[in-house]
Structure 1
Amino acid sequence: MSVFVLVSGPFTDGRIWNAVADRLRETGAGAHPVTLSMQPDADLETHVEDVVRLIDSLDPPQVVLVGHDYAIHPVLGAAERLPERVARIVYLDTGLPQHGDPALALVPDPAVHQLLGADGSPRPIPPPGPQDWHRWGSTEGLAAHQLQFLSRLACPQPPRTLTQPLRLTGAAAAVPTSGILCTAGGMTVEAVEALVRSGPPQFRKLADPQVGFFELATGHWPMLSSPEELAEVLLRAAAGEGRRLTAPEGEPSYLRPFLLEVPERPRVRNGRVDLHLPEPGEPHRRWPAVLFVHGGPLPPDVDPAPRDWPFYLGYARYAASLGAVGAIAEHRLHGITDYARSADDVTEAIELLRADPRVDPERIALWFFSGAGLLAADWITAPPEWLRCLALTYPILAPLPGWGAVPRRFSPTSALRADGRTLPPLLLTRAGLETPHIAATVEEFVTAAEETKAPIEIIDVPHGVHGFEIHDPTDESRKAVTRAVRTVLAHLGS
């Protein structure tokens, strides 16, 4: 039978696993909850050592390492140290951290980010009270006495456990993995499959045959809300079961050709913005411009960078072929904690674009895709006069479940409901087969637009998925892209 090493998320200790460990032991499996060191000066490396020390104390040659929430960081670190001792790594309702990521990127509570960034000597993070655990994850399925139990056993989280980067060498890359998703938080296997299909490089490896997925219809603490079901899923995961995902065949989807044939145009690179220029016209004429803002989050080392993807090149060249500068902004949206930095990058790109002598600075459109949709909030909150159109294509328009680390300002729906400003025309292109958690943000945005009588035009792609230009290059998709580009350019007077 399998032997499980169970590591819990922030503030908690091994006692949180009592019911699950008892159930596993009843089946004949081994179960060893870990209590991580919580002294104020502990860091991530301290917690890695805690897990390594427990594994070394066990007789079985291999164990199943289970990391819940933050604990996936010390679990991965321990697996790197002892890959030959780890039969499987189980990600329990957690993220997919990469080399160099601090656990802070997984923290949904903005107050924690403010506390850790307040000065040069961060303090331990106080544990939540019974009424505050929802800020760290869905509390679906937890009774009041269970929330009180969480707070009773909780202790302050050492700050350096959240800020020290995870160091991965690839030593444990061959270890099989399983993902257990708690669907009350908004993430489902279907949503993960959409991420695999849409092509961000860090997600394509989830289609490996050694990766299996499970769902639990509960909140973020299944060891309390559904201990028997969790124990059963852990046993199935250890046995190699789980739903397998498939990635698109061939090259990554984001490198596929654009769905329209458009001529290549002269390109000028200036800092964070690339300009694709129309045919030369009248001397000293200035063209209107569309700034395309790529989606994300994306890893910092993706190659080629998004502004060199055929997808965004196609949009920019198409705009240039119709008489406007098609510009592509490069921005550093590498994680959900990067939205403020990314917004600064986009602002810088806009300033460079408007300062270019070939561009009419009073006729600019901004076009946001996918996860960059949250960046549109700033331009809805305070739209400048030069902004003639704001386009959104299958956008995320409110922070998704578990995205509490996104600053509150990045909520286009909330921005839309504010009073006292005149909005530019809004153009929304939505996919009929959008993933439910993104579709919910779009629906809420449309409702807010109707209530506030915002000037919104909607282009529907009924049979389109997220990223339909790549995955569904159909006549329906081509018509939607053609209409969207021509609509934006009409607002620019091009």
Structure 2
Amino acid sequence: MTRFVVVAGAWLGAWAWDEVVSELRGAGHEVHALSLSGLAEKQGVPAGQQTHVQDIVDEIERLDLRGVVLVGHSYSGVPVGQAAERIGDRLARVVFVDANVPVDGESFLDSFPSDFIRKSLDENGGDWPPLDPADYAGQDLTDEQITRIVTEGTPHPGAALTEPAVLAYPLADLPATYIKCLLDGDELPAPVDELVERGRWELVRMNTGHWPMFSQPSELARILVESATRS
């Protein structure tokens, strides 16, 4: 039995993991899905990136979890990566699902050309609104799944995107698996590419889009369980 803590990316809450959680619990594992401050049922709570790091650390400590496989999707890879080093020996492994990863001193928006997001923050009171339905095309999602993501998603707090990450140790020190979703492109973000090439992190590829918890929940659950065995 493995203990998983799963955290979704921008605009999403714990609800995004419903099918994966069901698969993992059905296989006998313990799973805790977490909504970050300012999102989903916590909408309206002021939050920055370090708030999100603390959300994750607090949840693990509150539940007194040990041997944790910590899973971060997309944006949440940035706070998940920081939380992974802060929980110390409570961590068994961290899994990044088509995710950004933290770089000390850099923000989420520093990691890619992001002028369009900064413009959106300026136009929307400092928050990043969910994407339009057309932006999910070609990502292996049904119309019903796209509708759910768009209608249940909530604006993402801008401070979480602009605050810098704080790391005490190199990312290479984390026992990690990186899942690359190929319909979202096959290039690995820096510094993941180097860590995988050097054999420090495991790489798993999925032939699906950026939201595999919706498009391929059973396969994602299987990969998470296999990754846990490498801890």
Q: Which has the higher helix share?
A: 2
1:10-32 Cα distance to aligned partner (Å, 9 max, x none): 00000000000110111111111
**2:231 is aligned with 1:238:** no
2:202 is aligned to 212
- Structure 2 counterpart of 1:14, one-letter code: A
SS in 1 for 2:133: coil
Q: Sort the Cα spacing of 1:201 and 1:19 in 2 relative to 1 into closer, same or farther, 3 A.
A: closer
The separation in 1 between residues aligned to 2:56 and 2:215, in whole angstroms, is 25
1:162 is aligned to 161
SS in 2 for 1:149: helix
SS in 1 for 2:106: coil
Q: Is the 8 A contact 1:182 1:217 kept in 2?
A: yes
How many residues of Structure 1 are paired with residues of Structure 2 in the alignment? 226
- How large is the Cα RMSD of the aligned pairs? 2.5
Work out which structure has the larger RCO, using CA pairs closer than 8 Å and 6 or more positions apart in sequence.
2
SS in 2 for 1:32: strand
Q: Over alpha carbons, which structure has the higher Rg?
A: 1
The separation in 1 between residues aligned to 2:146 and 2:192, in whole angstroms, is 34
Identical residues among aligned pairs (%):
34
The separation in 2 between residues aligned to 1:156 and 1:232, in whole angstroms, is 30
2:119 is aligned to 114
Q: Is the 8 A contact 2:7 2:14 kept in 1?
A: yes
2:41 is aligned to none
Unaligned runs of 5+ in 1: 242-494
CA apart distance, 1:186: 1.6
The separation in 1 between residues aligned to 2:198 and 2:32, in whole angstroms, is 28
1:98 is aligned to 103
Q: Is the 8 A contact 1:218 1:225 kept in 2?
A: yes
Q: Sort the Cα spacing of 1:144 and 1:65 in 2 relative to 1 into closer, same or farther, 3 A.
A: same
Q: Is the 8 A contact 1:43 1:160 kept in 2?
A: yes
Q: Is the 8 A contact 1:79 1:172 kept in 2?
A: no
The separation in 2 between residues aligned to 1:222 and 1:68, in whole angstroms, is 9
The separation in 1 between residues aligned to 2:107 and 2:3, in whole angstroms, is 28
Aligned 1:402-441 pairs, distance under 5 A: none
Q: Sort the Cα spacing of 1:153 and 1:233 in 2 relative to 1 into closer, same or farther, 3 A.
A: same
Q: 2:213 aligns with which of 223, 237, 240?
A: 223
Q: Sort the Cα spacing of 1:202 and 1:184 in 2 relative to 1 into closer, same or farther, 3 A.
A: closer
SS in 1 for 2:116: helix
CA apart distance, 1:109: 6.3
2:81 is aligned to 76
Q: Sort the Cα spacing of 1:205 and 1:215 in 2 relative to 1 into closer, same or farther, 3 A.
A: closer
**2:140 is aligned with 1:131:** no
Q: Is the 8 A contact 1:141 1:218 kept in 2?
A: yes
1:148-183 Cα distance to aligned partner (Å, 9 max, x none): 100121111111000000010117753310010101
